[in-house]
Amino acid sequence: MIDRPKELDLDLADRQLINTIQLDFPLDSRPFRMLGDQIGISEGEVIERLKRLTDLGVIRRIGPILNTNKIGGSSTLVAMRVPEDEIEEVASRINDFGEVSHNYLRPGSYNLWFTISACEKERFHEILSEISGFGYPLLDLPVKHLFKIGVKFDV
Amino acid sequence: MEVRSVKMDNLDVLDPLDLELIKLTQDGIDLVPAPFATVAEKLGISEGDVIGRIDALIERGAVRRFGASIGHRTLGIVANAMCVWNVPEDRVEEVGAIMAGFNEVSHCYERPRHPDWEANLYTMIHARTREECERIAHEISRATRISDYRILFSVKEFKKTGVRI
């Protein structure tokens, strides 16, 4: 059960880079030079370190994190009640939708929890109604109020 | 109301160039000295325009942030708990703000109640161990005086990706 991660050898500069580029990636023509200036290393070294951190899986990607609700789409969290012996099959049918970004098994009466984010409202409703058609009881839990969406990990 | 909804619709539509820009960057920019110049070349616009468009997308909320997504499992942050809370309506604002103030809470939302589901506030807690998640949930409970809550650990991850278009 204990999934011990392989030992990571992150020095101070690695950690400074990781902490900075999650929220304050410079939108500049030479972003890596700017980052290097901030922590006192060269542009080339910043790039080499970021490549290594990407290879290690510490950094997934550097890019835009989208808010589908603001680009004409919709999103929600769905909790579904699925019998245990059908869970793998149902989870896989749900994963077939490219618009499903997260899907987890959790304990409790509603045990399958997944998010749907579609860039067009029509498509969103189509997916939700197809999934309702699976015939399992579900809770549609769209955000009413957002208090925090940070996802910044201090390392 | 009419005017407002028309305005909202206009704001909510991505122009084709913005759409292409997102498609070209959503899997990650290249780790090269001038990454936005590469994107600009593919789009046939200037590097300054690319940066200006990203700024504008952030400004209007279409892009929440432009930056790195972290593989937190690789960093040893392997416990992921969704904590659901039953908070009285008249305390939602106050309690949500307190919860959001915890460093270990990455997401905090209010979501609708259902007849057989009383929870209305949701927090995602990330930590190195389950025990640490439980301890943080307990601290949140003490800080907010909300004792009706449940921690739903993920038993299995079937899928985890970013939102793509």
Provide the residue ranges of all domains of chain A, joining segments of one domain with +: 12-56, 68-140
* First-to-final CA distance of chain A: 24
pLDDT of residue B163: 73
pLDDT, mean of each 10-residue run, chain A (155 residues): 57 94 94 97 98 94 90 93 97 96 94 93 95 97 91 66
Of B155, B158, B137, residue with least CA distance to B146: B137
Positions in chain B short of pLDDT 70: 1-12
Per the domain annotation, does B64 fall within a domain?
yes
Burial profile A31-63: b = 16 or more Cβ within 10 angstroms, e = fewer:
bbbebbeebebebeebbebbeebbebebbbbbb
The rounded distance, in Å, linking the Cα atoms of B150 and B128 is 19
Lookup: tokens for B2: 């009419």
DSSP labels for A57-77?
Answer: TSEEEEEEEE-GGGTT-EEEE
Residues B44 and B88 in one domain: no
Tell me, what's the pLDDT at A152? 64
pLDDT in tens, B56-81: 999 999 999 999 998 877 887 778 89
Q: What is residue A95's predicted lDDT score, i.e. its pLDDT? A: 96
What CATH number has the domain spanning A68-140?
3.30.70.920
Chain A partners within 8 Å of B163 (Cβ):
65-66, 68, 75, 101, 117
* DSSP-derived 3-state class of residue B79: strand
Between vectors from CA A109 to CA B127 and to CA B150, what angle results, nearest 5°? 35
Residue B73 lies inside a defined structural domain of this protein: no
Are the Cβ atoms of A29 and B163 closer than 8 angstroms? no
* Residue B50 falls inside a structural domain: yes
Q: Which residues contact A124 (CB under 8 A, 6 or more apart)?
A: A73, A74, A75, A76, A99, A116, A118
Residue B162's Cβ-count burial label (10 Å; 0-12, 13-18, 19+) is middle
Distance from CA of A55 to the nearest CA of B (A): 11
Asked if A144's CB is within 8 angstroms of B111's CB, the reply is yes
Flag whether residue A92 sits within 8 Å of chain B, measured between CB atoms: yes
* B24, closest residue in chain A (CA to CA): A63
Predicted ipTM > 0.85: no
For residue B21, give its domain range.
14-68
Complete edge-to-edge strand list for the sheet that includes strand A138-140: A138-140, A74-80, A112-118, A100-105, B156-160
- CB under 8 Å to B44, separation ≥6 — which residues? none
Three-state helix/strand/coil letters over A86-128: HHHHHHHHHHCCCCEEEEEECCCCCCEEEEEEECCHHHHHHHH
The CATH number covering residue B140 comes to 3.30.70.3460
Verify that B58 and B118 share a domain, yes or no. Answer: no
pLDDT of residue A4: 43
Give me the pLDDT at residue A1, please.
38
The count of other CB atoms within 10 Å of the CB of residue B126 is 22
